[in-house]
Amino acid sequence: MGSNPVNKSNIQGGIWPRMPKEFESYLFYKISNVDRFRNDLRDFIGNITTGLECEELLAKIKLAQEAGISRKIPKSCVNVAFTQKGLEKVCAMIPCCIGAELNDGLYEKGMYSDLIFEGADIPERLLPEFKPPPEHDPAKDDDSWRCDLVLIVAASCEKTLNEGIARIETNFHLRDMNKNSLDLVVAKHGQRRPGDFRGREHFGFEDHISQPQIQGLDPEPGPREPLSCLPGYIFVGHDGDPRQHNMPPWSYEGSFLVFRQLDEKVPEFNNFIKEAASKIPNYQGDNGAEKLAAHLMGRWKSGAPVALTPDHDDPKLAFRNDFDFRPKQSIMGCPFAAHARKMRPRADHKRDLGKDDDFVAGQFTDPLVHDTSNPPDLEEDSDEEPDQTPDKEDASVILRRGITFGPELGLDEKEKTTKSRGVYFTCYQSDIRDGFNLLMTRWASNSFFPTSKKRTHQDGPGMDPFTNQRQRKDHPEGHISLFDGVDTKKTHKLDLGTSPWVDQRGGEYFFTPSIRGLHWFCNGKPGGQSV
């Protein structure tokens, strides 16, 4: 374990590089018969799509696209992941697994206990499948209500998706009550949005931009892009995994999966933006509402970073990643608490990367053209060290792999959402506390992160306008600090209220084993291969 390169044939492909998909289903199950399930899983392991297989499929799709050919994958891709309750069942009778826990306290508790009792999730807003039943007695500390596993099926068309689901149902004998090993808890079906909206979530923003580059798997980042991250930030047992030497052998090259359903209320968001923009000079005018929405997100709907083009969308800059939010004290560019900046603060979180107010042309112009003829108003002094190059990326990075769900906005929904739509948010990391949990509770919902902002409002930069957990009146009041177009010395405080445009409906924590780990569960040994 450790310094070896990640084995692409051993990892599940939904982690890296990702599963090709236009449609994706999440099938949540409870194990009804452990012995049958272990036998069924042994027969099914060959259907689990590996990283190498996904890499080859994505390469074929790219070649077809470059040739102007529409490429559809003839079969679905499948991955599997387990909750703590599921692993306890599977490992209960395997001597080599007994006592070899994963040592992740949040994973053991599950999302409900983590974000209800330590975070700000609200039981009334959670879906039934992600919370205890009404008759549940919390004093008994019984979480047997939780699901055991999720099977993820991805495909390029609905027909292929259905064939993949049928393959699962046949393998695990879900229609034969004398042979079945799984009981379905709930199925959730997502798909990419159609036409010009493909790749965008329902608020209209291009999604999945700026994924971390993993050393040994991805190309090296370019100038001014975030540094590549150690493989152990994502894969258990590799360099960078904080518990690298304290994890059981069967967990090697697995990854913790977080699933969370986020319902997006598009009319409510659009109405809030329109009303708020009309009251702030910096966001008045023809594109004022569009500009305010972009500043809350940190990118324009095309994907162009606000850090590079703060006043108008520029599709030519879509997907650009060569910026780091310097000058870090300027309020003229990307708001400190914008979603993209909260989730990946770049230089904001690196005291060894530049002075607070050093001017990088990339903040307001193309970084390939060094033009400092009209720099923004900056502080005169800074107590930061001169520009240095950090030796590694932050450990708090996640690989995002979700998909949109729900119908397109209807004509009857101009004022209020009437149909469920949003994002099935999924992410992978080697440590839930340093990954999803930190981003959600200590960054997104912390109004004083990023820290040490000299010109922000006295109540801090604010909360993430999209993923903060300020969802009820007894939680701290949500806000975001913005440049109002007038005062260059201090930001304007925009109250977010209860953030009614994102309804967080709950989810669960899973572990995605490697292929060898799956063999271990089935055979009590890693399929004849060393781990």
Integer CA distances (angstroms), 15 to 6, 28, 29, 81, 91, in order: 12, 18, 20, 11, 23
Place of tokens 């993820």: 152
Below-70 pLDDT ranges, the chain: 1-3, 93, 95-100, 118-119, 352, 358-392, 470-476, 499, 524-531
Residue 102 tokens read as: 């994963």
> How much of the chain is in helix, strand and coil states, percent to nearest 5?
25, 15, 55
Q: What is the DSSP string of 302-336?
A: TS-BTTT-SSS--GGGTT-------STT-SSSS-T
Who contacts 140 (Cβ-Cβ below 8 Å, separation ≥6)? none
Residue 385 tokens read as: 């060290």
Who contacts 414 (Cβ-Cβ below 8 Å, separation ≥6)? 267
Place of tokens 């780990």: 517
Q: Residue 223's Cα: distance from chain center in Å? A: 24
Q: Report the C-alpha gap between 400 and 16 in whole angstroms.
A: 10
Instruction: Quote the pTM value.
Output: 0.91
Q: What is the DSSP string of 64-86?
A: HHHTT-----SS-EEEEEE-HHH
Asked whether the beta carbons of 96 and 520 are under 8 A apart, the reply is yes
pLDDT number for residue 96? 63
Residue 400 tokens read as: 């995002």
Whether the CA torsion 250, 114, 262, 349 is positive or negative: it is negative
Residue 192 tokens read as: 């990419």
Who contacts 526 (Cβ-Cβ below 8 Å, separation ≥6)? 249, 250, 516, 517, 519, 520
Q: Report the C-alpha gap between 424 and 440 in whole angstroms.
A: 16
pLDDT number for residue 51? 98
Asked whether the beta carbons of 67 and 61 are under 8 A apart, the reply is no
By CB neighbour count within 10 A (0-12 exposed, 13-18 middle, 19+ buried), where does 444 fall?
A: buried
DSSP state of 329: T
pLDDT number for residue 470? 60
pLDDT number for residue 118? 61
Asked whether the beta carbons of 30 and 196 are under 8 A apart, the reply is no
pLDDT number for residue 379? 40
β partners of residue 175:
none
Rounded to the nearest 10 degrees, how much is the dihedral formed by the CA atoms of 512, 516, 521, 526?
Answer: -160
pLDDT number for residue 368? 39
